[in-house]
Chain A
Amino acid sequence: MHRSIVHMDLDSFFVSVSCLDYPKLKGKPVLIGGTSDRGVVASCSYEARAYGVHSAMPMKLARRLCPDAIIVRGDYERYSQLSETVTDIIKENVPIYEKSSIDEFYIDLSGMDRFFGCYKWATELRHRITKETGLPISFGMSENKTVSKVATGEAKPNGQQKIDFGNEKTFLAPLPIRKIPMVGEKTANLLRTMGVEKIETVQKMPVELMENVLGENGIAIWRKANGIDNSPVEPYNERKSLSTEETFDQDTIDVNHLKSLIVAMTEKLAFQLRSEDKLTACVTIKIRYSNFDTHTTQSRIPYTSNDQTLIDRAKELFDKLFQRRMLIRLIGVRFSHLVGGGQQINLFEDSEEMVKLYQAMDRMRKRYGETSIQRAVGTEYERRRFNPFNGRSS
């Protein structure tokens, strides 16, 4: 028996939410993202896409392409709130679903065909979501996740599409290679230099050739191009890492400033870690120089959620990583290898006073907000992130 996998994707989710809250925006080119010149477009309306704007494009360029666009600063709290509402509707109605991002869901309807007719049923679910939340959503349905995702992309905006079992290859064949999930700009460019434009060409290539060019990824791309994907819909998507990064308004080389930012970012992430009852065993620091060269370095540590341990390690990593005396455009901190649990108190290193101090600080943060207490060295960071329009820090 073959499977029935549905991929649902909220159409230009951030824009749709903004339109819902401010109906005046409807039908206009809207860009969501950082308002400064250096921000990137997080999402844009279909009207803006007509001008050639796409997400992840620098805001400056987007503005040049579409000078009339209305730029809206994202309200991520509102987005996740609505995303939860959609998730709840899906959760109530389907046997197995996987939330793969804030606005994307995979649903496994295998075996439901004989009772409901999967396609009809998914259509009803789509209408219900739109009716209850006011957000447009599209879906694609097929035998596996990859083909469904591609089908959703083709069905957008506010549409739906079904690829019958056996037709996967013919459906994918005429599409440009860029449509395969996991083929990014770089891979697409590489394939294009080889004369590969359409998925059809990849389908006809021997898998060994793809492997020679792209290694392990080549095999994965080749399989996807042929509509082969056995990966299951995984009901619970455990968060595997916590991260934050910051692009500067102006490139900087001020080490003290950078370090104070790292302290603030680490402190913030460490609090998040503790709030979720998690420990990390791996700290990563990322820097992007002004010429877009991006470097990361990471280090394994014993499981911890302790501010001081993490801050010290993050600073050490930064010193190790920042070797070129070149302007920096972006820095980021990431914790991975997360497990559930509380900090093991150390007999010699953690004095009772320190333990109590940290616990008291966390209680304050929980009661009066994350920024109610923090290390003085990192306060500048929060000020910069303060959004005067909604009175919150983003």
Chain B
Amino acid sequence: MKFIVSSTTLMKHLQQISGVLNSSNPLPILNNFLFVVEKGTLTVSASDLESTMTTSIQLTEGKQGGKIAVPAKILLDTLKTFPEQPLTFLVDEKTLGIEIVSDFGKYKLTGFDAEEFPRVPVMEGSKTLKLSASILLNAINKTLFATGNDELRPVMSGVFFQLSKDNITFVATDAHKLVRYRRTDAKASGEGALIVPKKPLNLLKNIVGDSDEIVNINYNENNILFQFANHSLICRLIEGRYPNYEAVIPVDNPNKLTISRSALLSSVRRVSIFSNKTTHQVRLKVAGSELHISAEDLDFANEANERLTCQYEGEDMEIGFNARFLADMLSNLEFENVTIEMSAPNRAGILVPANSENADEDILMLVMPVMLNN
């Protein structure tokens, strides 16, 4: 097997897929990139058993086919040091010896048998879905932060894709906060429900740009495949039933507070510096058209109080939140003004944009309060 490739092109492609690699792997083969040359195209894959990411490069010269697994770390470290120049890879598939020739000299390393590399699952009985890159990117950005980390509840560690003929809904929750992002300008051919793990979505975010290009999605019961330009990512879906999120979103919220998002966000961030370092608890008190945000850390006698003006309809109330959750939500809401809908100090607070410009987009964020001791 032999091929010639530009050092920077190869580096760029490898960096896009190297996020799949774990720092410690149960199988040594997973510390490798799989290189396959076939019909004048080089495809490189990285896998962590759960997700496999592949990128392809058109080769101009040296088209002797073959495949081999190349140790990822040593290859990436070497490529980083090269300025733009052609590199020649010579691989002896019998001895697994790899020789790289650059303008500066020659480097030899030993690869692994390509057959050891985990096979990409074959998608049987799959359905297709087309999404524009910008919708997918938006959906990932808006939901990913709300996913959970609890190993005991794996379904919450992914983003829920609910497909229907009328719209597609993306949901993420960790049981303390929840995001529901619905697009009516994206449609599926039928009903479907998928839970996609966090890690591949994070990787996808890095390769899908904010464009109108189409991402082709194939999915069946076990796997989902994303194809975009010359990249593809296939990953195992999370098994299990996603919690009934609609049932926990309160409908009747008579207390409505509308406020500038950036003002509230910076106030929450500032005040939370003075809150307890573990619980990040802040207190919101609304009365009339004034929002009073306060926090204290009794252990260090730290305390902060701020007042903001807002529009408020409803009864005066006092409610406690984890400031981290509030800040995460506010920074992902990208609207000028937000409305916080509440009913009682022990029930969820709901954040929605005060005035949405995009009729096809429906976003709702929910945050559960902390119980205040009055």
Question: What residues make up the interface of A, taking CB atoms closer than 8 Å to B?
Answer: 236, 238, 274-275, 277, 279, 303, 339-349, 352, 355-356, 359
Contact = CB atoms under 8 A, between A and B. Distances in A.
A339 B176 CA distance: 19
B175 A349 contact: yes
Contacts of B322: 344
Contact of B279 (A339, A348, A355, A356): A339
B175 A277 contact: no
Given A238-B299, A342-B370, A352 B278 contact: no
A342 B176 contact: no
Interface in B283-299: 297-299
A356 B346 contact: yes
A100 B177 CA distance: 41
Contacts of A355: 346, 371
B243 to A, nearest CB: 5
Interface string B268-306: 000000001011010000000000000001110000000
Contact of B346 (A339, A347, A349, A359): A359
Contacts, number: 66
Given A340-B276, A341-B276, A347 B372 contact: no
A339 to B, nearest CB: 4
Nearest to B372: A342
Contacts of B178: 347
Contacts of B330: none
B369 interface: yes
B368 interface: yes
Contacts of B373: 274-275, 277, 342
28 contacts: A277-B373, A279-B279, A303-B279, A339-B276, A340-B279, A340-B297, A340-B298, A341-B276, A341-B281, A341-B370, A342-B370, A342-B373, A343-B370, A344-B279, A345-B176, A345-B346, A346-B175, A347-B173, A347-B175, A347-B248, A347-B348, A348-B248, A349-B175, A352-B346, A352-B347, A356-B346, A359-B346, A359-B371
Nearest to A344: B370
Nearest to B348: A347
A251 B322 CA distance: 46
Contact of B243 (A274, A277, A341, A348): A348
A215 to B, nearest CB: 31
Q: How large is the interface on B (under 10, 10 to 19, 20 to 34, 35 or more residues)?
A: 20 to 34
A356 to B, nearest CB: 7
Given A345-B346, A347-B248, A359-B346, 5 more contacts: A279-B279, A340-B279, A344-B370, A345-B368, A349-B175
B366 interface: yes
B17 to A, nearest CB: 35
A315 to B, nearest CB: 18
Contact of B278 (A274, A303, A342, A343): A303
A59 to B, nearest CB: 38
Interface residue SS majority, chain B: loop
B200 interface: no
A198 B80 CA distance: 67
A346 B368 contact: yes
A341 B278 contact: yes
B353 interface: no
Interface of B: 173, 175-178, 243, 248, 276, 278-279, 281, 297-299, 320, 322, 346-348, 366, 368-373
Given A349-B175, A356-B346, A359-B346, A344 B298 contact: no
A213 B373 CA distance: 49
A339 B278 contact: yes
A349 B153 CA distance: 12
A298 to B, nearest CB: 18
A356 B345 CA distance: 11
Nearest to A238: B299
Contacts of B348: 347
- Output the residue of A303, A346, A349 with the most chain B CB within 10 A: A346
B371 A343 contact: yes
A344 B372 contact: no
A154 to B, nearest CB: 35
Contacts of B366: 347
Nearest to A281: B278
B324 to A, nearest CB: 11
A356 B344 CA distance: 11
Contacts of A238: 299
A348 B322 CA distance: 17
B279 to A, nearest CB: 3
A303 B173 CA distance: 18
B299 A340 contact: yes
A305 to B, nearest CB: 8
B119 to A, nearest CB: 37
Contacts of A342: 279, 281, 320, 370-373
Contacts of B279: 279, 303, 339-342, 344
Pairs A-B, 10 closest by C-beta atoms: A341-B279, A342-B370, A339-B278, A342-B371, A345-B368, A341-B281, A343-B371, A355-B346, A277-B373, A347-B175
Contacts of A339: 276, 278-279
Contacts of B369: 345
A345 B278 contact: no
A352 B251 CA distance: 14
A348 B176 CA distance: 9
A370 to B, nearest CB: 15
A339 B178 CA distance: 25
Contacts of B281: 340-342
A67 B281 CA distance: 56
A240 to B, nearest CB: 11
A339 B281 CA distance: 11
A222 B346 CA distance: 54
Contacts of B248: 347-348
B373 to A, nearest CB: 5
A222 to B, nearest CB: 33
A355 B345 CA distance: 11
Interface centre among A236, A344, A355 (most CB of B within 10 A): A344
Contact of A346 (B176, B276, B320): B176
A345 B370 contact: yes
A348 B175 contact: yes
Nearest to B325: A344
Contacts of A274: 373
A339 B278 CA distance: 7
Nearest to B177: A347
Nearest to B366: A347
A348 B152 CA distance: 14
Nearest to A345: B368
A238 B346 CA distance: 29
Contacts of B298: 277, 340
B299 to A, nearest CB: 6
Nearest to A366: B373
